[in-house]
């Protein structure tokens, strides 16, 4: 419920903080060389392999201490490798080629993630299960099959039946899943956690299967299972009495469902985003029911009024989280009075509501333990209101002020002074915010990890200089900040070395120099958006290719980059998974050749409007074994035959393709049927 872990509250120099941080995080930063160094040192001193003398118990203990960087440790010596193999509990498979080998090696795994592994289908599963000694399924407790659209109900059932201890399954976004798959899932009698988001075909029948089969269910997400109605929810509430978490977002359920849900005595979290048929009558059922309710989300429920929400609040004084985004037009006086009683409230999100200074004052004076406040797109948020709310809620960690356009530097300064623990601040479209406010932020909020300054035209190089004092920054969004240049970026690059995500969308003054600084400073970057930064060239791209951790790179519509730059990226960024090259018209076949050969981890590519030929497209599509999603619109040099060939070559593993709608009837129906049968979705543009 509470996403941010409690952290020590020290408003002190960074050195002190780094000392007080948890051990594992510290060790995470030590690289493999360090381990090897220690290893060699000990070996030299004792002139024999000391780790051979250590018992396995001790080695396991050592491994437990280095939770996060097990990969480096594994590579040090055979002993470490062996111990790591036996103690590993979770595994995420990227390629099916290694699946069997890995499963045999790591025989004690409890969690298997196949969500990004291509070619998981019924046949693969049957081969996996029939292969020799099937030991690996013995201990499996969690299966992540999200987006495993190739897997049918037969394979699913085989897999689930093979795992006797299975407790959690994630089949979210398997859009083709229906009642049969649900029926297969219901074989897992010990199941406690199930995520079925966007299993579009599941109806009440499927839900009934699960409700009857998995009566120990504690957590269930049915988001976007659009076929499910009141009947199914009613049965669920009768059969699964252990439910603690229930998500019925976007279902066409009515207040009747809430009557049933109210009978769930153990329910703690109830999410019903976008249930537009539920009204206050339903919420009144909750007033008396669900005694342990801690979190409720009624966002986008258009029929819910403040009085309905009040009835929920009055029935549950221990409420910790309340989400009411875009469902109320304004908060009524009784509701505000009701809020006064919620002393345990941690998170409140009332995006899109008309608020007043008075309301914010009430929140500030009563909800002292507030950790997160969402006021995105709220009308009537003023400097005064913000000052009143933050002065009361000193523990705030997340503050969302997206599109609160009337707030100025005064408010930012107050926030900075009142909330030293602030970790996330969203100020998108707050035009009046300038370097004056951000100065204070850089001075006080040293714990800041996420800052969204998208479309804040007041942000300039000086502002970035101030922000760069927040050295803990992990995510920084500077999209559409047209006033920032290489100088500002260099400040960020020098100081914010922990940055992993940076958004420079349409920062048109950013050029190669800034990127060079970035590549040397922020070498942990995994996501970088440079779309429409039209000043950058291959030189900048070559710099970027030094970012070894880079996985997501958006280079949309950069006119000056060519195959040379792309080749550098393809060769050096080994982890590159998502690449957007739409409208990069200067990249030619040789660039895509390079991608086809080197970017073996590519998962998703957008090459619409690119100059790629039939031959290279086929090569790319067939050679990239992990590719799951390709957007292939307006490829002027590609013929229909070439496209068909390319599609055939990847039809076993790809899950999503975007094609030009004009080709709808030119492409042979056989391919389309095969795609359909393999669970691949074709989007026509």
| φ, ψ dihedrals at 155, nearest 5° | -65, -40
DSSP state of 392: H
Closest distance to other proteins from the beta carbon of 71 (Å): 6
347 lines the binding site for other proteins (CB under 8 A): no
DSSP 206-250: HHHHHHHH-TT--EEE-TT-TT--HHHHHHHHHH-TT--EEE-TT
Pick from 147, 198, 209, 325 the residue near other proteins by CB under 8 A. Answer: 209
Taking the least distance from each CB to other proteins, the nearer of 285 and 326 is 285
Piece of the chain touching other proteins by CB under 8 A; list 42-50, 202-210, 216-224, 467-475: 202-210
Q: Which of residues 237-266 bind other proteins (CB under 8 A)?
A: 238-239
Taking the least distance from each CB to other proteins, the nearer of 143 and 424 is 143
271 lines the binding site for other proteins (CB under 8 A): no
Taking the least distance from each CB to other proteins, the nearer of 333 and 677 is 677
DSSP state of 329: S
- 614-623 and 589-598 are packed helices; what angle lies between their axes, rounded to 10 degrees? 10
183 lines the binding site for other proteins (CB under 8 A): yes
Distance from the Cα of residue 672 to its chain's centroid = 31
Taking the least distance from each CB to other proteins, the nearer of 462 and 576 is 576
5 lines the binding site for other proteins (CB under 8 A): no
Distance CA(496)–CA(449), nearest Å, equals 10
Encode 388-419: b = buried (16+ Cβ within 10 Å), e = exposed.
Answer: bbbbbbebbbbbbbbbbeebbbbbbbbbbbbb
Distance CA(384)–CA(402), nearest Å, equals 17
Taking the least distance from each CB to other proteins, the nearer of 210 and 451 is 210
CB 565 within 8 A of CB 589: no
213 lines the binding site for other proteins (CB under 8 A): yes
DSSP 44-55: HHHTS-HHHHS-
Between 402 and 431, how does the x/- string for binding to other proteins read (CB under 8 A)? ------------------------------
Distance CA(464)–CA(442), nearest Å, equals 9
Strands 501-503 and 424-426: unpaired
470 lines the binding site for other proteins (CB under 8 A): no
575 lines the binding site for other proteins (CB under 8 A): yes
596 lines the binding site for other proteins (CB under 8 A): yes
Taking the least distance from each CB to other proteins, the nearer of 124 and 262 is 124
Distance CA(123)–CA(134), nearest Å, equals 16
Closest distance to other proteins from the beta carbon of 662 (Å): 23
CB 536 within 8 A of CB 558: yes
Host H or E run for residue 645: helix 640-649
Distance CA(333)–CA(601), nearest Å, equals 55
Residue whose token pair is 């603690």: 244
Closest distance to other proteins from the beta carbon of 641 (Å): 12
Taking the least distance from each CB to other proteins, the nearer of 94 and 510 is 94
Closest distance to other proteins from the beta carbon of 588 (Å): 19
Closest distance to other proteins from the beta carbon of 94 (Å): 5
Distance CA(489)–CA(355), nearest Å, equals 36
Taking the least distance from each CB to other proteins, the nearer of 103 and 348 is 103
547 lines the binding site for other proteins (CB under 8 A): no
Closest distance to other proteins from the beta carbon of 361 (Å): 48
Closest distance to other proteins from the beta carbon of 645 (Å): 7
Residue whose token pair is 């799951």: 628
Q: Which of residues 143-162 bind other proteins (CB under 8 A)?
A: 152, 154-155, 157
Taking the least distance from each CB to other proteins, the nearer of 206 and 442 is 206
Q: Helix or strand or coil: residue 103?
A: helix
Q: Helix or strand or coil: residue 580?
A: strand
- Contact residues for 384 (Cβ-Cβ < 8 A; gap 6+): 357
Distance CA(492)–CA(461), nearest Å, equals 10
Overall size of the chain counted in residues? 685
Q: Helix or strand or coil: residue 393?
A: coil
Q: Which of residues 64-93 bind other proteins (CB under 8 A)?
A: 70-71, 74, 88, 91-93
| φ, ψ dihedrals at 361, nearest 5° | -65, -45
Pick from 397, 426, 535, 678 the residue near other proteins by CB under 8 A. Answer: 678
Strands 604-606 and 578-580: parallel
Strands 552-554 and 578-580: parallel
681 lines the binding site for other proteins (CB under 8 A): no
Piece of the chain touching other proteins by CB under 8 A; list 59-67, 180-188, 349-357, 361-369: 180-188
Pick from 48, 64, 97, 317 the residue near other proteins by CB under 8 A. Answer: 97
Pick from 115, 172, 186, 611 the residue near other proteins by CB under 8 A. Answer: 186
Closest distance to other proteins from the beta carbon of 446 (Å): 31
Strands 295-297 and 321-323: parallel
Taking the least distance from each CB to other proteins, the nearer of 305 and 622 is 622
Taking the least distance from each CB to other proteins, the nearer of 218 and 234 is 234
200 lines the binding site for other proteins (CB under 8 A): no
Distance from the Cα of residue 606 to its chain's centroid = 20
Closest distance to other proteins from the beta carbon of 360 (Å): 44
Q: Which of residues 113-142 bind other proteins (CB under 8 A)?
A: 119, 121-124, 126-127
Taking the least distance from each CB to other proteins, the nearer of 500 and 537 is 500
Q: How many residues belong to the site for other proteins (CB under 8 A)?
A: 62
570 lines the binding site for other proteins (CB under 8 A): no
Residue 283 is encoded by which pair of tokens?
A: 């919420």
Distance CA(446)–CA(216), nearest Å, equals 44
Pick from 27, 30, 62, 100 the residue near other proteins by CB under 8 A. Answer: 100
Q: Helix or strand or coil: residue 355?
A: coil
Pick from 382, 526, 600, 668 the residue near other proteins by CB under 8 A. Answer: 600
677 lines the binding site for other proteins (CB under 8 A): yes
Closest distance to other proteins from the beta carbon of 398 (Å): 28
Distance CA(624)–CA(599), nearest Å, equals 7
Q: Which of residues 485-544 bind other proteins (CB under 8 A)?
A: none
- Contact residues for 38 (Cβ-Cβ < 8 A; gap 6+): none
Q: Which of residues 300-319 bind other proteins (CB under 8 A)?
A: none
Host H or E run for residue 373: strand 372-374
Taking the least distance from each CB to other proteins, the nearer of 229 and 366 is 229
292 lines the binding site for other proteins (CB under 8 A): no
Q: Which of 595, 681, 582, 590 is nearest to 632 (CA)?
A: 582
Closest distance to other proteins from the beta carbon of 128 (Å): 9
- Contact residues for 389 (Cβ-Cβ < 8 A; gap 6+): 360, 361, 363, 364, 373
Contact set with other proteins (CB under 8 A): 70-71, 74, 88, 91-100, 102, 119, 121-124, 126-127, 152, 154-155, 157, 179-180, 183-184, 186-187, 204-206, 208-209, 212-213, 231-232, 234-235, 238-239, 574-575, 596-597, 600-601, 622-623, 625, 645, 648-649, 651-652, 674, 677-678
């Amino acid at each position: 419920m509470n996403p941010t872990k409690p952290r020590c509250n020290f408003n002190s120099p960074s050195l002190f903080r780094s000392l007080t941080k948890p051990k594992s995080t510290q060790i995470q930063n030590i690289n493999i060389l360090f381990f090897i160094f220690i290893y060699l040192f000990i070996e030299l001193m004792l002139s024999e392999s000391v780790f051979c003398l250590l018992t396995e118990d001790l080695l396991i203990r050592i491994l437990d201490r280095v939770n996060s960087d097990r990969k480096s440790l594994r590579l040090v010596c055979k002993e470490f490798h062996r111990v790591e193999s036996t103690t590993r509990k979770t595994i995420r498979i990227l390629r099916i080629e290694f699946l069997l080998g890995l499963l045999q090696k790591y025989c004690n795994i409890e969690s298997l993630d196949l969500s990004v592994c291509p070619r998981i289908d019924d046949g693969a599963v049957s081969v996996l299960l029939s292969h020799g000694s099937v030991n690996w399924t013995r201990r499996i407790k969690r299966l992540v099959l999200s987006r495993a659209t190739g897997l049918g109900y037969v394979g699913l059932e085989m897999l689930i039946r093979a795992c006797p201890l299975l407790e959690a399954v994630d089949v979210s976004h398997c859009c083709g899943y229906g009642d049969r798959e649900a029926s297969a899932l219901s074989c897992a009698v010990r199941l406690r956690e199930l995520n079925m988001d966007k299993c579009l075909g599941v109806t009440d029948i499927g839900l009934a299967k699960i409700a009857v089969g998995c009566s120990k269910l504690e957590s269930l997400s049915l988001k976007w299972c659009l076929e499910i109605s009141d009947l199914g929810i009613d049965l669920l509430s009768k059969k699964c009495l252990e439910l603690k978490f229930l998500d019925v977002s976007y279902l066409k359920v009515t207040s009747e469902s809430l009557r049933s849900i109210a009978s769930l005595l153990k329910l703690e979290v109830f999410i019903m985003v976008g249930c537009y048929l539920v009204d206050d009558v339903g919420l009144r059922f909750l007033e008396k029911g669900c005694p342990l309710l801690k979190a409720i989300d009624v966002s986008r429920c258009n029929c819910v009024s403040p009085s309905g929400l009040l009835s929920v609040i009055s029935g549950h004084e221990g409420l910790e989280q309340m989400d009411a985004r875009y469902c109320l037009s304004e908060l009524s006086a009784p509701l505000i009075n009701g809020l006064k009683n919620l002393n345990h409230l941690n998170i409140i999100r009332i995006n899109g509501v008309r608020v007043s200074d008075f309301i914010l004052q009430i929140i500030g004076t009563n909800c002292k333990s507030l950790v997160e406040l969402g006021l995105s797109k709220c009308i009537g948020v003023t400097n005064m209101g913000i000052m009143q709310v933050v002065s009361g809620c000193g523990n705030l960690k997340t503050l969302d002020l997206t599109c609160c356009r009337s707030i100025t530097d005064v408010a930012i300064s107050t926030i900075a002074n009142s909330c030293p623990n602030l970790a996330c601040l969203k100020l998108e479209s707050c035009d009046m915010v300038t370097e004056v406010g951000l100065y204070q932020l850089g001075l006080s909020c040293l714990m800041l990890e996420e800052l969204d300054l998208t479309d804040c035209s007041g942000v300039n190089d000086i502002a970035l200089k101030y922000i760069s004092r927040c050295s803990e920054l992990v995510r920084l969004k500077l999209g559409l900040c047209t006033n920032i240049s290489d100088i500002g970026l260099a400040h960020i690059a020098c100081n914010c070395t922990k940055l992993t995500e940076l958004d420079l969308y349409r920062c048109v003054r950013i050029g190669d120099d800034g990127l060079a600084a970035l590549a040397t400073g922020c070498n942990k970057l995994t996501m970088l958006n440079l779309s429409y930064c039209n000043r950058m060239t291959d030189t900048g791209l070559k710099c970027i290719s030094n970012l070894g951790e880079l996985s997501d790179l958006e280079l949309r519509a950069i006119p000056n980059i060519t195959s040379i730059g792309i080749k550098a990226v393809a060769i050096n960024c080994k982890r590159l998974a998502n690449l957007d090259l739409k409208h990069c018209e200067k990249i030619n076949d040789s660039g895509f050749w390079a991608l086809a050969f080197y970017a073996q981890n590519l998962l998703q590519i957008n090459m619409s409007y690119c100059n790629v030929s039939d031959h290279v497209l086929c090569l790319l599509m067939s050679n990239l074994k992990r590719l799951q999603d390709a957007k292939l619109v307006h490829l002027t040099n590609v013929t229909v035959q070439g496209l068909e060939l390319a599609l055939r070559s990847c039809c076993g593993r790809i899950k999503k393709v975007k094609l030009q709608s004009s080709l709808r009837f030119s492409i042979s129906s056989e391919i389309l049927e095969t795609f359909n049968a393999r669970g691949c979705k074709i989007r026509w543009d």
